[in-house]
Structure 1
Amino acid sequence: MTAHPALAQPAFDTHLFDCVQVNLAAVAERWHGPGTGSRLGALLRFAPSPGPDGLPTVESSPPVQFELAERALGLVVRPARHVRIEDLTPGEGCFVLADAHHLPWVPYHGRQHIEHSFLLVARDTETFTVEDHYDNETPWGSARPGTWRLSRDLLPGLPDCTLAVQLSPGTLPKDPGPRLERAADPQTYARAYAEHPDRAAALRQLTLETWLLARSRGLHAAYLARRGRAEPRVADQVAAWRALAEQAFLASRRVARGRPEPGGLTDRLARLLRADTDVFGGPSAGPEPAAAPTGHGAEADRRAVAATVAGVLGTDPSALLSGTRLPDVPGFSSFRLAELIDRLEDELGIEFDGDDLTPENFQDVDAVCRIARWPARLGAPADAAAREEA
């Protein structure tokens, strides 16, 4: 597999789109100009449908995605089911949905079965060019936009497991303007996740749900910003959704490790969904900064936490002790945060209350120290004194 440098610097915010939207947006930007892709964010929609394990899902089906692309992006989508990749003539291409487990350029390859999109063009009788603008962090590394040259033998089974559609440029319709659509009750949706008996399955699905909701809200905010509505309250709401998505991942990871489930997650989900309908009407105050830890042993705690954090993130402990925020460290992500929590609990003997496992509580070393519970402090004063002398 050979990487091609053409997409090293994407011209649009790829991190705002899901794995189907992003490649439709890329085609629209190419044919109709910069900013066209953001039209997929004009509609802020909450219309869950039945999903896996009896849970509701906000994930849109491909036909719904294609219909929106035709209405908002000026793309003409012509279904071409059962297309055999080897039948593509040189220069002919299509938009493909396939199982990411078979796709060697994404981190899911050989690890997870999940539907993924990409653009495929036949170069000649032996090779293809794959173009994929997907931008995301995964447990197995980063997915980044790029193009790759592939030989046919690197796509085993692909002709048998794809839905391919041919795209062509249509007339770009009038900008639809921002719209809100809420077709379900947020409390009912949240309750389905709160009351599901299989907690591991519910939290695993909720991780995907909050990821999709956070990205769609971020895309809607980007659309509003292009129309001159970059308001602080919108940014606050988007940040809150991203924080909730991280909290859902941490909760799922914690339950998978046999630890107690954090509380309040689905209540927060319902509150954010209710706030979506009126959040665009003015500024709101930011959160109060967390107080730094003080008192007996505080500096020893800070040094121990900073050393462990630095080991996970590959940075300098002194920078963390000087106030560098964890999200500002290159490579920080929800996956690194989960690893960090595991290391702090396993190596330092720290215990965290499940309800404290929110991204807001892991902004810097002092915030971590504020919520940490040291067993030595609770039951072995001599150990605490020994730690302070370290």
Structure 2
Amino acid sequence: MNAAADCTPASERDDVLVRAIAGIDTTLLDCIQVNAAVLADTEHGPDTHLEIGSVVDFAPRHSTHSALPTVERQPSEQIAQLGAPLGLDLRIGEPVDRGQSLLDLIPPHRGALYVIGDAYRMPWLPYHGHQHMAHSVLLRASADGARIEAVDAYDNETPYGRAEPVVCTYTRQQAAALFDGSPTTPVLTHRGESRPQPLEHVLTRNARAATPMLETEAPEHYAIAFRDHPDQTAAFTALLLETWLLSRSRRLHAKWLARRLPGSAHAAAVAQQAGAWEDLTGQCYLAARRVQRGRPAPPQLHTTLAQLLRTDLEIAADAAPSAPGDDLTDSAEVRHTVQAVIADVMAIDLNLVAATDDLSQLEGFASFQMVETVERLEETYAVEFPASELQPATLRSIDGLTGLVQRAARKQAVSAA
């Protein structure tokens, strides 16, 4: 980590933002998403940020810097898409090139200002002094405004060293100097409504986006563009970023799905696919280093890339409910999901839960676990259980909870029809 006025790992601090960071797998988020995720979890509670992972897509476009395609999105596009799933009202302000004017926008009472600036100017990052790129950070005042803290949850291994979640403290003058002469975009942030979309709606949306792509050769054309580019050093450098972005998005989607549809065959397939993407990213890193040294890259990488993209599309297309509520009212599937949720809530082996119908026989299953289970099931199926049905006998039984989910899901399907 590059030197700064006073930087400490976020893990060594204890405040509301840092506690939110501790609950996030920051390796799953890019440098624009990660600090917005911190604000969302601060406002709405742990795991709110996982809703970013509900969408799995493949929509490459041509880069403005080269002829190669890219799945990377401009910060303004990302911010426009982040607000609703995070339960935040995000409004992009005019770029500010005077540091003091930027600091004046920091909300009082230890509120944080979310900004997009240049990583080249941020001393806590390995990119400092090496590479210009858009990067987010949270700025907040301390010591009655005399000092400014930069809170950054970004977590990544870069060519210049490792970036880890950190809190850096500057005098106001030092902080202003970091942003002087470098246009920095403030994003005004307000608490919005956190309302996860019904699972079947998300799966249907992803399937509708994937199905037309399967009828094209978009995955193959994307891979071929990198394979046949005349400058292979540039191609593999770009491909490393592409697979890094794709891998992170697939791993985040897998974690979101594991929470929304735990124990399902679909969640298992997505998790396996995410692991394959992580493997490919590692292979691309090795290939990029070899090409930089004038050595040949492994020949199968581009074929593997196209295959993974096509498999992504196939998995998404196959997951669409065949009719409203069909997947959600299947008794065996719901029962398995109920068991998986209870196992996760209690942090015990799934087999222990599957071995009994009476949850009171499980050591540690009490009122808190009962409430958490109900809330998780309502979130998973995007339903609200009738208060009249929340009877102790029902909530202590696998059969009772399974029936509760089925009735609520059927009722919602009929209402939506």
Q: TM-score scaled to structure 2, two decimals?
A: 0.63
| Range with bigger deviation, 216-225 or 60-69 | 60-69
Is 1:270–2:270 an aligned residue pair?
Answer: no
Aligned equivalents of 1:275 and 1:25: distance in 2?
A: 28
Q: Deviations over 1:15-35 (max 9, x none)?
A: 111111111111110101111
Please point out which of 110, 114, 128 is paired with 2:129. Answer: 110
Match of 1:119 in 2: 138
| Range with bigger deviation, 86-95 or 102-111 | 86-95
The answer to whether the Cα contact below 8 Å between 1:102 and 1:155 also exists between their aligned partners in 2 is no
Is 1:158–2:170 an aligned residue pair?
Answer: no
The offset of 1:216, in angstroms, is 0.2
How does 1:53-132 map onto structure 2 within 5 Å? 53-83=66-96, 84-88=101-105, 91=109, 93-123=112-142, 124-132=144-152
The offset of 1:235, in angstroms, is 2.4
Match of 1:172 in 2: 194
The offset of 1:142, in angstroms, is 1.9
Please point out which of 148, 167, 183 is paired with 1:147. Answer: 167
Counterpart amino acid of residue 2 in structure 1: D
CA-based RMSD: 2.2
The answer to whether the Cα contact below 8 Å between 2:152 and 2:165 also exists between their aligned partners in 1 is yes
The answer to whether the Cα contact below 8 Å between 1:101 and 1:109 also exists between their aligned partners in 2 is yes
Which structure has the highest helix share of the two?
2
Specify every segment of 5 or more residues in structure 1 that has no aligned partner in the other structure, as ranges. Answer: 283-390
Match of 1:30 in 2: 42
The answer to whether the Cα contact below 8 Å between 1:237 and 1:279 also exists between their aligned partners in 2 is no
Aligned equivalents of 1:54 and 1:139: distance in 2?
A: 23
| Range with bigger deviation, 245-254 or 35-44 | 245-254
Match of 1:134 in 2: 154
Counterpart amino acid of residue 72 in structure 1: P
Q: Deviations over 1:298-346 (max 9, x none)?
A: xxxxxxxxxxxxxxxxxxxxxxxxxxxxxxxxxxxxxxxxxxxxxxxxx
Residue identity over aligned pairs, in percent, reads 40
Please point out which of 230, 244, 247 is paired with 1:211. Answer: 244
The answer to whether the Cα contact below 8 Å between 1:75 and 1:169 also exists between their aligned partners in 2 is yes
Q: Secondary structure of 2:27's match?
A: helix
Counterpart amino acid of residue 170 in structure 1: G
CA 1:168–1:266: 2 relative to 1, 3 Å: same
Q: Secondary structure of 1:46's match?
A: coil
Q: Deviations over 1:252-293 (max 9, x none)?
A: 1111111123211111100000001234779xxxxxxxxxxx
Counterpart amino acid of residue 27 in structure 2: H
Counterpart amino acid of residue 220 in structure 1: H
Q: Deviations over 1:186-219 (max 9, x none)?
A: 1111111111111111110000000000000000
Specify every segment of 5 or more residues in structure 2 that has no aligned partner in the other structure, as ranges. Answer: 320-417
Tell me the number of residue pairs that the alignment of Structure 1 and Structure 2 aligns.
282
